[in-house]
Amino acid sequence: MEPFELSITEASTLIAKKELSPVELVDSVLQRVWKLDDNIAAYSLLLAEPALERARLAEEQIMTGAALPPLHGIPIALKDLIDVAGLPTSASSRVQVGHVAESDAVTVRHLQEAGAIFTGKTHTHEFAFGLTTPQTANPWHTEHTPGGSSGGSAAAVSYGGALAALGTDTGGSIRVPAALCGVVGLKPTRGTVSLEGVIPLAPSLDHVGPITRTVKDAALLLEAISKAKVDNSSANALAVHEITGTKLGVPVNYFYERLEPEIEEALAQLQRALADAGAELVEVSVPLTETIMPGQWGIMLAEAAFVHRDNIRSRADHYGEDVRLLLETGSLLPAQDYLMAKQAQARLERAWTEMFQQVDALIVPTVPTVAARRGQSAFIWQDGSEEPVVEAYVRFNAAANLTGVPALSVPAGRHSSGLPFGVQFIGPAHSEAVLLKLGQLVEGITGRMPMPAPFALCN
């Protein structure tokens, strides 16, 4: 196994034993980037020399015999919405040309304190306002989207261009690309991770979270960026008894509608396997599903338009067409529409709090189908109905943003097309421990997703 293929846990163990140096690890990751990223374009800014310099310093620290922080020498990428002092934060937009961050985001400071080494900034759908990241390719097949808006982060982790990355999630923007690229993505409980120093999209829906290769790595990264211990045996293998009696909700409405049959069957098999491991499957009717999409769009459009109010008036032509149209639409929304969406959000939060008194978590698809082709605008379902790509990808994800509850996407398998897809666990506020345990069990059932052999290598 090459160093770039390691998980954080594996690499940290080898570094602590002096069997792998941070320089070897960072160099292996950079070699992978130089080999593949011209075709995949996960990175908007590569920090090769600074990363190698930090790796050399990390190696010197090891030789002193000092205690090492948990992410010592681990190469991590940052979504290009997250500020690092002295570096540009581009948000993958012409609007941000010339912008240089004056200070570090809180999450950046936490990662630095944990010993992480930053490999660079990763592409996002412009200002995180989309779910395809059009400039970036999916490492499993470069003619397909990696998802978005954290598409660059998910692609980099998937192909070995970083051991982990940070993303942001306003309506699925961590979980969707994680599912489409075959990696793990965690949207934490609202307020768990600071948003200070992160360019906002819709502040009341925004979250920062980890994208990793394994569930254990997601727990480690969450602990680092939140400065809170995740009580979930994050450093230990999951024991079967820990899941016994867990009430796992299987929705009878909404979450299994307009769903690719192969994904539906794969999730049914996972449900049976989790039941065999001791989980109690409970059918549940998800409340107020009719408010999810209107609430999501009403809040997101209005808040994004407010965030961009000055630039959309003075420099509208600097935005990509899709984002410009969304911002202009948001700027025309009446105040009463926004207030109605916020009222719907409050009702949904209360209803979901009651639902989670019946079950410990929901098991649902992350995405209804696999990665769309780049530039594809819509999916056509078995009944002949058409659904825009962005609507399809946000549909199973928005509720967790509206309610602020945590949601974890874990690789669930590969479609007959060869493209990966994910299973999502959603729980009540601050239930990350339960979700991570369930995710670890899924990893044990399905096996760790292999590193993709990128399409670019096949030519």
| Model confidence pLDDT, tens digit, residues 352-381 | 999 999 999 999 999 999 999 999 999 999
Is residue 90 part of the annotated active site? The answer reads: no
Q: d(Cα 94, Cα 91) in Å, to the nearest integer?
A: 9
Identified catalytic residue from 12, 21, 44, 79: 79
Is residue 79 part of the annotated active site? The answer reads: yes
CA atoms 140, 133, 123, 184: torsion sign: negative
Identified catalytic residue from 44, 90, 173, 431: 173
Is residue 7 part of the annotated active site? The answer reads: no
DSSP-assigned states of every residue in 293-317: HHHHHHHHHHHHHHHTHHHHHH-GG
Which of 144, 77, 139, 129 has its CA nearest to residue 107?
Answer: 77
The range of the structural domain enclosing residue 315 comes to 3-458
Task: Per residue of the chain (459 residues), give pLDDT as tens.
Answer: 999 999 999 999 999 999 999 999 999 999 999 999 999 999 999 999 999 999 999 999 999 999 999 999 999 999 999 999 999 999 999 999 999 999 999 999 999 999 999 999 999 999 999 999 999 999 999 999 999 999 999 999 999 999 999 999 999 999 999 999 999 999 999 999 999 999 999 999 999 999 999 999 999 999 999 977 665 444 343 344 478 999 999 999 999 999 999 999 999 999 999 999 999 999 999 999 999 999 999 999 999 999 999 999 999 999 999 999 999 999 999 999 999 999 999 999 999 999 999 999 999 999 999 999 999 999 999 999 999 999 999 999 999 999 999 999 999 999 999 999 999 999 999 999 999 999 999 999 999 999 998 554 443
Identified catalytic residue from 21, 28, 92, 149: 149
Tell me the CATH number at 289: 3.90.1300.10
Structure tokens at 419: 């493209």
- Please tell me the total count of domains within the chain: 1
